[in-house]
Amino acid sequence: MLYNPLEQFEIVKFIAMEGPLFGYIQIGLTNIGFYLLLASFFLIFLHLLYNKEGVLGLGNTLILCVESLFGFILQLVKNQIGPKGQPYFPAIYSLFLFILFLNLIGLIPYSFTATAHFALTLGFSSTILFGVTLLGLHRHGLHFFSLFVPAGTPLPLVPLLVLIESVSYLARAFSLGIRLAANMLAGHILLHIISSFSWKFITGSLLGIIMIPLPLLFLTLLYGLEIGVALIQA
C-alpha cells in the first residue's frame, strides 16, 4: 500500500458545527487551530510558571534550556536593535517560542506541523512586517522613508534605488514566510520517505533485520538535523 507523504499536512476538522441554525457559517476546530491553541496555552503556562523572582518552577535542566533561549534572544535583540529594542523583547521572545513550539511538536510522530502551511507562515510574516512598518512610522515619522535611500546616493539614481529598496523591503514578508514553511514541509516529507523505505528494508529480508542499526542511525541523525532546522527557522 502506498502512502502519500503529503497526507500528514492535511487539515482535518476535529469539531464541526453547521446546519440551519448557523446558516452558511461553519463553526468548528481543525487540527491546525488545535495546535495553534496548544502553542498559545504553552506560552501562557510558561508565563504562569514564573514566580515573583522570575525563576521557573521547573527542573534544573529545563530551567537551563529556557534561560539559554532567553539569553540568546535577548543578545540577538541587543545586537540587532540596540538598547532601544528592549521594550519589544517580550513580543519577539514570545513569537520565537510560539514558532519553536509549533516546529518541535510537529516532529512528534502522529502530530501535526502547523508551520508547514504557507497560509499560516505568510500570515505571520506579513503581519509582522506591517506592524514593524507602522511602528517605524510612529517613531520616526517621514524620516522612516530614508531607509529606502542609501546614504551618498546620487540624485538621478534615487528613484531607481527607492524602487529596488522598496521591493526588497516588501519581499521579506514573502521570503521569511515561504522559507519557514518550505523547510518544515521538505524536512517532514524527507523524514516520511526515509522512514518508510527503512521500514520496508528492515521487514523485507533477513539482511534488513541484520542491518537494523544502519537505518536507525541514519534516521536518528536526520531527526537531529530536523530539530536543528526547527530551532534555526524559529
Q: Residues 59-105: pLDDT tens digits? A: 566 677 777 888 888 888 888 887 777 888 888 888 888 899 888 88
166-190 residues labelled b (16+ CB within 10 A) or e (exposed) = eeeeeeebeebbeebbebbbebbee
Measured from the Cβ of residue 101, the count of other Cβ atoms closer than 10 Å reads 22
- Determine, yes or no, domain membership for 72: no
pLDDT of residue 124: 87
Taking the chain, what is the end-to-end CA distance rounded to the nearest angstrom?
36
- Determine, yes or no, domain membership for 45: no
pLDDT of residue 219: 80
Cα 105 to chain centroid, rounded: 11
Q: Decide: 115 and 183 in contact? Cβ < 8 Å.
A: no
pLDDT of residue 216: 79
- Determine, yes or no, domain membership for 125: yes
Rounded Cα–Cα distance for residues 229 and 234 (Å): 8
Q: Using alpha carbons, select from 110, 75, 91 the residue that is nearest to residue 195.
A: 110
Phi, psi at 115, each rounded to 5°: -75, 5
C-alpha cell at 59: 527542573
pLDDT of residue 167: 85
- Determine, yes or no, domain membership for 108: no
Q: Which residues of the chain have pLDDT under 70?
A: 1-6, 8, 14-27, 49-62, 204-208, 211
Structural domain of residue 202, as residue ranges?
Answer: 117-233
Q: Decide: 150 and 161 in contact? Cβ < 8 Å.
A: yes
- Determine, yes or no, domain membership for 169: yes
Counting the structural domains of the chain, the total is: 1
- Determine, yes or no, domain membership for 22: no
pLDDT of residue 64: 74
- Determine, yes or no, domain membership for 133: yes
Q: Where are the beta strands (DSSP E) in 108-214?
A: none
pLDDT of residue 2: 47
- Determine, yes or no, domain membership for 9: no
Q: Decide: 112 and 101 in contact? Cβ < 8 Å.
A: no
pLDDT of residue 225: 86
Measured from the Cβ of residue 122, the count of other Cβ atoms closer than 10 Å reads 17
